[in-house]
Amino acid sequence: AQKVTQAQTEISVVEKEDVTLDCVYETRDTTYYLFWYKQPPSGELVFLIRRNSFDEQNEISGRYSWNFQKSTSSFNFTITASQVVDSAVYFCALSEGSNAGKSTFGDGTTLTVKP
């Protein structure tokens, strides 16, 4: 069975600090996809990134970067020089190749960036 653990329930940082959100997953499939979503205070979840299990390259997009390590079953998300607008709930999700496109979501990490 697939499982996603986001151990950090809440994180609070001051603007311009770097912050890493952890995501650990469990799956028996060799083919799977990992996702990060952002849910700002307005409520609508927005897709940030998708990674498949065969691509362990890290990715950087502006101030955002993702570190995918199969050896530790982790897909961590780092925000560099955080801003107040980064305040949101962040969800990590996993879709297994055998599970027809359904995703299992972690419980989310609430990030608060203070000015």
Please report, as ranges, the residues that interact with other proteins according to CB under 8 A.
9, 33, 35, 37, 42-47, 50, 52, 91, 95, 97, 100-103, 105-108
- For 58, 64, 83, 99, 100, the CA distances from 96, given in Å and listed in that order, are 20, 25, 33, 5, 8
Q: Give min distance, CB of 36 to other proteins, in A.
A: 10
Query: 82 with 31: CB under 8 angstroms?
Result: no
Say how far apart CA 44 and CA 38 lie, in whole Å: 8
Q: Give min distance, CB of 113 to other proteins, in A.
A: 20
Q: Give min distance, CB of 38 to other proteins, in A.
A: 11
Residue number, 65 or 99, with CB nearest to other proteins? 99
Q: Give min distance, CB of 83 to other proteins, in A.
A: 23
- For 19, 71, 101, the CA distances from 113, given in Å and listed in that order, are 10, 31, 33
- For 21, 51, 72, 100, the CA distances from 11, given in Å and listed in that order, are 9, 24, 22, 33
Residue number, 43 or 115, with CB nearest to other proteins? 43
Residue number, 41 or 115, with CB nearest to other proteins? 41
Residue number, 18 or 107, with CB nearest to other proteins? 107
